[in-house]
Structure 1
Amino acid sequence: MIQRIQSIWLFLATITLILMLFLPITTKEISGAESEIYTNGLYQTLSAKTGTELKVQSFMPLLITNIAVAFMCLMNIFNFKRRSLQKRIIIFTIAAIGGFAFWCSVYAKKIPGGLEGASFGAGAYLPAIAILFCVLAIFGINKDERLIRSAERLR
């Protein structure tokens, strides 16, 4: 039963949210120093020659939220026997990912010099991909429910 398609979609959503820990949300170069925002903080590369990164500011609440939302997706995989509960948790997770994405945009504005001229990294688009995977998981749950209802009619 654990090999259902919604388990695969939820696992992909988990992987996507874990990737947010390692990929930058925004990047901006100001007078030779490059600033990057990750979910765990603001990093600045002082010179391109040495490549030394310095953590300027820590975003611990954002990091904890990222880990919590990824953990919700992962733990929801094991609710495959209770499809209605699984669906409700996924809907809550979608709302949490939406709030997390908004919160990331608030932190992205803290990049030195503002967002003007900044480029968005891959981390900026990953919450939308995670939401897509969660919606596909809901479609998989609905498909399972239709299959079970049709099998019960045949009995």
Structure 2
Amino acid sequence: MIQRVQTLFLLGVAILMMVTVFVNSWEKTNPDTGERATLDAFYLTHLEPVANETDFKKSAELPAFYIAILCIISAGLAGFSITRFNNRLLQMKLGAGNSLLIAGTVVAIMLLSREGEQLFAPTIVGEYKTGFYLPIVAIFLNILANRFINRDERLVRSMDRLR
């Protein structure tokens, strides 16, 4: 039911997790040599400049496809949870599971960014990009959705007692 606020929160979770698949999560650049490392939902890529410093060659590419899988499953679970509006207990369980998936996404990004820090120049620190912060916002929206689902369930139970 679209008029419920938790539906909007769950829709926000689904959208944010799908956007996470397409944006960079972490990046590190060495200004002296021009080396770069980037992390997206599919690969941790280390790029080294070629002689003219405008072209880059991939020196290492570690697969990170499980981040994309976690994001897609989480978005799908949020969408599925929207359709289960008449079974609030199932919706709360799906929301709890979705929180775990999103937290797993954040942890995977953090672990791979630590691995990326070791690729070159350990003194230079990389920075987290949009793809890292979107799942954190998604966790917050998911918690809000679960809170409103729980409130609806308590309201329905209190009405059942009055009958």
Q: TM-score range by the shorter chain?
A: 0.7 to 0.9
1:61: how far off? 2.3
Secondary structure of residue in 2 paired with 1:57: strand
Match of 1:41 in 2: 43
Unaligned runs of 5+ in 2: none
Distance 1:33 1:137, change over 3 A: same
* 1:2–1:80 contact (8 Å) kept in structure 2: no
Unaligned runs of 5+ in 1: none
CA distance, structure 2, for counterparts of residue 22 and residue 49 of structure 1: 26
Whichever residue aligns with residue 138 of structure 1, its letter is N
Match of 2:4 in 1: 4
Deviations 1:39-73 (A, max 9, x none): 11123555697576858333222222221122111
Q: Once superposed, what is the RMSD of the aligned Cα atoms?
A: 2.6
TM-score normalised by L of structure 2: 0.80
Aligned residues: 155
Find the partner of 1:133 among 110, 120, 141.
141
* 2:70–2:104 contact (8 Å) kept in structure 1: no
| Matched ranges for 1:5-154 at <5 A | 5-30=5-30, 31-44=33-46, 50=54, 56-111=61-116, 112-113=119-120, 116-153=124-161
Secondary structure of residue in 1 paired with 2:115: coil
TM-score normalised by L of structure 1: 0.84
Distance 1:93 1:147, change over 3 A: same
Bigger drift between 121-130 and 74-83 goes to 121-130
Percent identity reads: 26
Distance 1:46 1:144, change over 3 A: same
